[in-house]
Amino acid sequence: MIDIVLNAAKIAFSEDARKSASALIDFIRRSPEWQKDFCTLEAKIEPRVSEQAYLLGEIAVEKMRTLQFADVSLGAFRASYTELVTNAFEHGCGKDKNKKVSVTIELNPHYVSLTVTNPKGKKFSVIKCLEEQRAALSRNPSARTGRGLILVRELADNLDSTSESEGVKAIFYRPSVSLKIDEIEDLVIIEVIDGAINPSASRRITEAAHRFLNRNLILDFYKYKSEKEHATELLRSYLDLNAVFEETGKRVVILLNPSPSSAVASLNMLPPAMVAHSWDEALAKSNQAQLRKRIKQLKGS
């Protein structure tokens, strides 16, 4: 059995419709409430009709596409949805086919949130589970299982337990973070193509940078464009990143467009030694001036 609520209104089905997944999905698609830019889809699903849970995930992906989320966000949501719902059925319900998993999907042009809640009484800690999975994989890197929540942590912009600790909530913001990484001798360039205003941007950039602590780093925001400003509270993360690189004797330089209308103008508040407004300046500050010709070929600048 599956119970569905759309924008706080319960959807009523005939007996035949309840038995037909296609009728259920078609009903949602044609609903005026579903056509709105802001909508919330809630469902309580028994394990015996778990396939209908995955159909709900696919219709949410369709809605995300309508809201102009990038393909990478669609893929991230789809994989996370499958992983979290499967885990809830397997570990939350166990062998009791009468229990129900609750799924809530909130969609709007700015973000999509996915909350998957276990049956009453089944507590869940995202932090503890992540720690256990990472510890298990460190002991056995070739293990074929135990990577699910780690994967969702990477795909989602935010992942946490629900307030009741009986479920997990994943959030996917628009625009998604898009990075391009180039390695040239003792230099790594991380170009921020999109998503600098995404709340997960600093985490994703920092995690990418930590893979190259033995090299000098340029964070390239030069061509980044957005109608919104880069949040000033994120400056701390770049200062922290610079401190880590300094411990290894390497440098972090952030390349910004000098235009006053630059979407990341607030990054100019960083220490002068960290900020550059041209490739020549960025290479000089990172002690990589000898790479000027190669960078010019790579970047066309």
pLDDT at 203 over 70: yes
Q: Residue 4 in contact with residue 43, Cβ under 8 Å?
A: yes
CB burial of residue 301 (10 Å; 0-12, 13-18, 19+):
exposed
Mean pLDDT, residues 197-212 taken together? 92
For the chain, list the domains and their CATH numbers.
2-173 (3.30.565.10), 178-299 (3.30.750.24)
Percent of the chain exceeding pLDDT 70 equals 82
Q: State the DSSP code for 272.
A: G
Regarding predicted confidence, which is higher, 219 or 127? 219
How wide is the angle at C-alpha 108 spanned by C-alphas 71 and 118, nearest 5°? 90
pLDDT value at residue 17: 47
What ranges make up the beta strands (E) of the chain?
A: 2-6, 9-10, 39-45, 101-107, 111-117, 158-161, 167-173, 178-184, 187-194, 216-220, 252-255, 275-276
Q: Give 1-51 as a 3 state SS string.
A: CEEEEECCEECCCCHHHHHCHHHHHHHHHHCHHHHCCCEEEEEEECHHHHH
pLDDT at 188 over 70: yes
Mean pLDDT of the chain: 85
Whether a cis peptide bond, with omega within 30° of 0, leads into 109 is no
Crossing angle (nearest 10°) for helices 126-139 and 148-155 = 120
| Model pLDDT for residues 227-275, shown as the tens digit of each residue | 565 556 677 888 999 999 999 999 999 998 887 556 566 788 889 999 9
pLDDT value at residue 143: 63
| Model pLDDT for residues 52-78, shown as the tens digit of each residue | 888 889 999 999 999 999 999 999 999
Q: For 12, list phi and psi in degrees, rounded to 5.
A: -100, 135
Mean pLDDT, residues 104-110 taken together? 96
Most confident of the ranges 84-88, 115-119, 254-258, 282-286:
282-286
pLDDT at 104 over 70: yes
pLDDT value at residue 70: 95
Count other Cβ atoms within 10 Å, centred on residue 235. 16
pLDDT tier, 138 (very low <50, low <70, confident <90, very high otherwise): low
Please name which of 109, 114, 108 lies closest in space to residue 81, comparing C-alpha atoms: 114
Q: Residue 150 in contact with residue 82, Cβ under 8 Å?
A: no
pLDDT value at residue 135: 74
pLDDT at 220 over 60: yes
Q: For 143, list phi and psi in degrees, rounded to 5.
A: -60, 140
